[in-house]
Structure 1
C-alpha cells in the first residue's frame, strides 16, 4: 500500500524502534505491517543521518538536473547543425524537418528550436498542403498541358494568355515562377550574320518598304523559300504570309527549288483568299521571283510585285521570322528520314498549330485565324450599326 496513509509522527516513531530500541528492520516491518523498503526510506529521512542523506539527495537531484540540461543542450546543438538551413525556410519546410527527425528528438523540443508551435505542426500533419500549394499544383498541371500542346515552344507570356482564355485567374509573374520551378522554357532561337544593305531590283521596286503592318487582310503578302534537310535529300518550302494576321495563306513543298514551287504557293493563296482588290506581293530577288512566269502570273491575277534589296533579309523580315519559328519550334527538334515525313510534319505545324492555335504578339496574343475572325466580326457589326 502507499506510504501516504501513514502520518509523519508514525514514521518517526517507527524509525526510533530501529535506531533507539535496537529492533531490526525486518522485525519492525513484521510487527507494524510496513514494507522493508518503506522503513529504510524512513530511516534515511528521519534517522540520525537524515541531514547527510538529504544533502546527498539534493546533490543527486542537482546532478540529475544538470545531466538533463546537458542532454537538452547537446540535442539542440545537433539539431542546429542539421537544421541550419531550415531555420531560414518557410514554416511548412520546418514542419517537414520535424516530421523527418521526430524519431530522434522530442517533437516539442524541435518545435521550440525551429520557432514553431506544436499545435501548428499537428495541424499540418492532418493537411500538409496549404490552399496555395494545392493551387500551385493545379495551375502547374494546366501550364504543362498548354506548354505540351504548343509543342514545347511557348514562353510564360503565351502560356499566361492560354490560361486567361481558359478562365484561370492568374498573374503573369506567377506563371513565370511556376514555369521556372517546373523547368519549362520557351524554345530559344539562333542568330546568323545578317547583311544590312543591298542593291534594289532594276525592274521591280521595293513597294512594301518595310511597312509590315496593314489595316485589313489582303493588302500585302510576303513570300520566301527555305529548305528542310532529310535523309532522303532536301525538301524545299515556299510560303505566302498575309501581313495583316501573319497567317500562312499559301504554301508548297517540292524536292526541287523551281519557279513552279513559288507559283503553286501563290496559286493556293489566291484560291484561299480570292482578293477583290490589288495586293502587293513582296519577295526577295531569287531567280524564281525574277522569272517571266512569275511576273506574268502577278499581272494576270491583279497582284503587284515588290522586291527586297539584294542580300538584305530585313526587307522581308516577316517571312524570315516565320521560317525562324518553323525551324526553331519544329524542324531543328526532329530528324526526318524522308521527304514525306517532313512534308507531313510541316503541314501539321502550319495548318494544325501555327495558323489555328499559335499565339502571335502582333495579334494581341491571338492566333492568326482567331485574329481574322474577330476582325471580320467587328467589321460586320460596324456595317450593321
Structure 2
C-alpha cells in the first residue's frame, strides 16, 4: 500500500525557505529538523526565486533577506574574531609557532582549522606536516616509555603494579596518569599473578588476651614506639608450606624483623621479636600490636613480652581493620614477591625474603603512608 503523500502550506514553505535565505541555515539541517524530502527544500527555494523575478514586492523581500543574512554573518564573524583575540592575545603577541599549532589543536572545533590558519598566517601544508610528524613522535615516545616500563618491571622482578610503576616513572622524569600507565602495562601483557588458595590453620590455646590500645590510630610520631606483627604463608616449589612472621614499625612502615619457618607457632613469634629487639634501639614503653592468634596469646609469648617490658595490644577478633598496616604489608608482600616466585629450598626462600624486605621494601619501594618516601628515607629524615 502506497504511503500518503505529505502536503505543505505556502506559509510553511516560506518559513523554511527563510531559514536558509535569511538565517543562513544549512539545507541538510533544515531537512532533518522538519523531516523533509531531500529535494523538497531545494525545489521550494528555486520556485521562490523564480516567483521573485516576476514580483517586485517579493524581490524586495528577497533582497532584504540577503541583507539580513549578510549582517548576521558579519556580526557572527565579529564575535568570533573578538573571542579569538581574547583567547589568543598572548600567542599572537609573542607565541611560538608550536604554541600556535597547539592552540589550533585545542580550538579547531570552535573556529575551524582553515579560519585559524589564516589568522595565524600559517600555510595549511605546514600545519598538516606538523600533525603528521607529531603523530610519529607520539608513537616513538610511547614505545620508549613502554620499554622503560618493561625495564622497571623486570628490574624489580615483576613487583610494581601500575600505581607503583607511575612513581618509578616519575623518578625518571616521565609524567603519566595512572590510567595511562595501566593501559601501557596491559598492552605489554604485564599482569598480576593468581594468588594460591589460603591454607587452613589449626587454632591453638589462648593463655591471655589484651585490649586494643591503638583503636585503628596508626599514626606514630617517632620510630620504635609502636610495632605491629602478624603471620602469613608461602609455598615452596614442591608444594610445602612455609610461614613468615614480620614486625613493622608504624612510624615509617619499615619491617624491623622477618623470619621464615616450617611451623607457625609461638617460637617463631618470639624469635622474630628477639631479632627486632637486637637490631633496633628501643625505648621503654614499646607497644606491640597483633591479632588474637594463639601464637601471640600463648603463655610463652606473653611472658617473653612481659620480661622485655613490652606492652601488648590486640585487635578485636575477626576485625582485620584493627591491624590494617600488617594486612596492607602482607598484601604487598604477596603481590610483589611471594606470588611471583617459587623456591626449591628453604635457604633460597629465606635469602630472597630478606633481600625483598630489607633491601627492596625498605630502601627502594615508595610507600604511600610516607608521602611516597621509602621507609628508609622516612626514618633517615626523623630528627
The change in CA–CA distance for 1:170 and 1:283 in structure 2 (over 3 A counts) is closer
The correspondence for 2:314, drawn from 287, 307, 316, is: 307
Aligned: 1:274 with 2:274: no
Contact 2:209–2:292 (CA<8 Å) still a contact in 1? no
Contact 1:234–1:255 (CA<8 Å) still a contact in 2? yes
The change in CA–CA distance for 1:327 and 1:168 in structure 2 (over 3 A counts) is closer
- In structure 1, the partner of 2:141 is 135
The correspondence for 1:288, drawn from 289, 292, 295, is: 295
- In structure 1, the partner of 2:28 is none
- In structure 1, the partner of 2:246 is 239
Distance 1:319 1:255 in 2: 21
Contact 2:234–2:338 (CA<8 Å) still a contact in 1? yes
Contact 2:290–2:323 (CA<8 Å) still a contact in 1? yes
Contact 2:242–2:260 (CA<8 Å) still a contact in 1? yes
Distance 2:291 2:348 in 1: 28
The correspondence for 2:355, drawn from 343, 348, 354, is: 348
Distance 1:189 1:363 in 2: 27
State the TM-score, normalizing by the size of structure 1: 0.56
Contact 2:270–2:301 (CA<8 Å) still a contact in 1? yes
Structure 1: gaps (5+ residues): 1-116, 193-199, 380-385
Larger radius of gyration, structure 1 or 2? 1
- In structure 2, the partner of 1:363 is 370
Structure 2 SS opposite 1:297: helix
Deviations 1:311-352 (A, max 9, x none): 333322222222222223322233333323322232232123
- In structure 2, the partner of 1:339 is 346
- In structure 2, the partner of 1:262 is 269
Aligned: 1:298 with 2:305: yes
- In structure 2, the partner of 1:211 is 217
Larger CA deviation: 269-278 vs 340-349:
340-349
Structure 1 residue 282 displacement after superposition: 0.9
The within-5 A match list for 1:118-157 is 130-157=136-163
The within-5 A match list for 1:1-385 is 130-170=136-176, 174-185=180-191, 203-230=209-236, 231=238, 233-374=240-381, 376=382, 379=383
How many equivalent residue pairs? 252
Distance 2:128 2:307 in 1: 80
Distance 2:269 2:179 in 1: 44
Contact 1:154–1:185 (CA<8 Å) still a contact in 2? no
Structure 2 SS opposite 1:276: coil
Distance 2:226 2:144 in 1: 44
Contact 1:223–1:238 (CA<8 Å) still a contact in 2? yes
Q: Root-mean-square deviation (CA), in Å? A: 3.4
Structure 2: gaps (5+ residues): 1-123, 199-205
Contact 1:188–1:328 (CA<8 Å) still a contact in 2? no
Distance 2:153 2:125 in 1: 41
Structure 1 residue 208 displacement after superposition: 1.9
The change in CA–CA distance for 1:243 and 1:271 in structure 2 (over 3 A counts) is same
Structure 1 SS opposite 2:297: coil
Contact 1:219–1:279 (CA<8 Å) still a contact in 2? yes
